Amino acid sequence: MTSEGSVGVDADGGEPGTVRPGGRTARVREAVLRAAGDALVEHGFDGLDLADVARRAEVGKTTVYRRWSAPAGLVADLLSDMAEQSLPRADTGSLAGDLRANARLVVRTLTDPRQGPLFVAVIAAATCDPRAADALHRFYAVRIGEWSGCVAAAVDRGELPAGTDPGEVIAAVSAPLYYRLLASGAPLDEEAADRAAAAAVAAARDGVYVR
């Protein structure tokens, strides 16, 4: 990875990449994050360079260095933005339908020509950079929290045992899909999504995820 500057605190008093600006600053942030995503897809985290991102975004290098400080700051902010833009959870009226919708959304994201390589690059970054890892953990905490309502509703409807851990159920849906992406290379398609959802439903109904 090539970069200048070190991780620190930006002029707004927060860690780089954590401030939510408005107006012109928001437009700069949007352009920089889009450029950072393009660079990650093309070169991976090791090739993420702040000067290159500034050039792609057509903003001053000083602005990028001052605001994000290091590539990990860009990754953190990019993940925050992705979490903000993610679709809300489904509400089909059944746990099976909700988790199937979740699994299919994961597959669509991971097989998207841009989003798929972007997630691979971010996951790779998380294996070697603590700030990128923290950002990835926060991203998935947000998404699991969003979809956990499906499980809580299923408990309320009597579909699942009381005490079922919603986060564990949602994580169980996506885990085999990420395994296919990162480890096995097996096809990522709707059949795989539906199988992952069905397995999570069956395990949850059997009380596997009861705390």
- Give this prediction's pTM: 0.80
Give the model's pLDDT for residue 81. Answer: 86
15 secondary structure, DSSP code:
-
**Per-residue confidence (pLDDT) for residue 22, from 0 to 100:** 55
Residue 185: left (phi > 0), alpha (psi -120 to 50), or beta? left
| Side chain identity, residue 25 | T
List the pLDDT tens digit at each of the 211 positions of the chain.
333 322 222 333 344 444 454 577 889 999 999 999 999 989 888 899 999 999 999 999 999 999 998 898 898 888 888 888 877 888 999 999 999 999 999 999 999 998 898 888 889 888 888 888 988 999 999 999 999 999 999 999 999 999 999 999 999 999 999 999 999 999 999 999 999 999 999 999 999 999 9
**pLDDT of res. 17:** 46
Both structure tokens of 10: 């930006």
Cβ-in-10-Å burial (0-12, 13-18, 19+) of 90 comes to middle
The span from the CA of 86 to the CA of 50, in Å, is 25
Q: Please tell me the predicted confidence (pLDDT) of residue 10.
A: 35
Q: Measured between alpha carbons, how far is 166 from 151 in angstroms, rounded to an integer?
A: 5
